[in-house]
Amino acid sequence: MAEKIRRRNYFVKPLIQGQFILKIFVLMLFCCVLYAVIFANLSTDSMTITYKDSNLMLGKTPIILFREMLKAQGAFIISGGVGVVIYALIISHRFAGPLHKLELCVKLMLEGDHAFTIELRPNDKGHELAEVINLYNDKMSNEISEMREVTAALGEKLAQCDASKSDVPHIRISEALLLVNQLQDKLKWYKINS
């Protein structure tokens, strides 16, 4: 049975994931403060009497409510913040992991390696891009394979022409030229920077 691979890097792309987690946390914090402000403002023009630690306090309702809500939300911000950070980390892996994998694959392609297939997890983002890169690699592999076959055949024809100087070389040269034309046709398909 295959052993489940455990993740060793929680931050695959630290800068991207860190920014994402920070933005989610700040959004949660902003929502908590906004809720407290809106709730307190709904009770304007009223007074509240509170009894705390043998002290009777009289004050405007919005200020008292805002203070009490911030105290209650402080606990939520700490405990909820940890939950939000963990959740944001898990979510960020859905796009940062594939982004990292695609980046590594493009580096392999730059080194001339087209013998791989990108496989992403079902919930990962970027399946369309991975599919396009896989199609490109398949096409490149086929094209390179065909060009190798043509150049090998061309090399054989040129070796035969060189070995048999007394035979009819113009027939073999025309066969070699046909192979050169096939190779040129393959190479015309590619657009390059000039």
Tens digit of pLDDT for each residue in 30-73?
Answer: 887 787 777 767 776 776 777 677 777 777 767 777 777 777 77
Q: What are phi and psi of 9, to 5 degrees?
A: -105, 115
Query: First-to-last CA distance in the chain?
Result: 53
Per the listing, tokens 């209650």 go with: 72
Q: Do 12 and 101 sit in the same domain of this protein?
A: yes
Q: Do 19 and 61 sit in the same domain of this protein?
A: yes
Whether residue 3 is contained in a domain is answered as no
Average pLDDT over residues 129-157: 86
Q: Are 66 and 40 in contact (CB under 8 A)?
A: yes
Q: Do 167 and 92 sit in the same domain of this protein?
A: no
Residue span of the structural domain in which 170 resides:
126-194
Whether residue 158 is contained in a domain is answered as yes
Q: What is the pLDDT of residues 109-124, one digit of tens each?
A: 888 888 889 998 888 8
Q: pLDDT band at 180, cuts 50/70/90?
A: confident
Q: Do 14 and 99 sit in the same domain of this protein?
A: yes
Mean model confidence pLDDT for the chain:
79
Whether residue 2 is contained in a domain is answered as no
The kind and range of the H/E element at 51 are strand 47-52
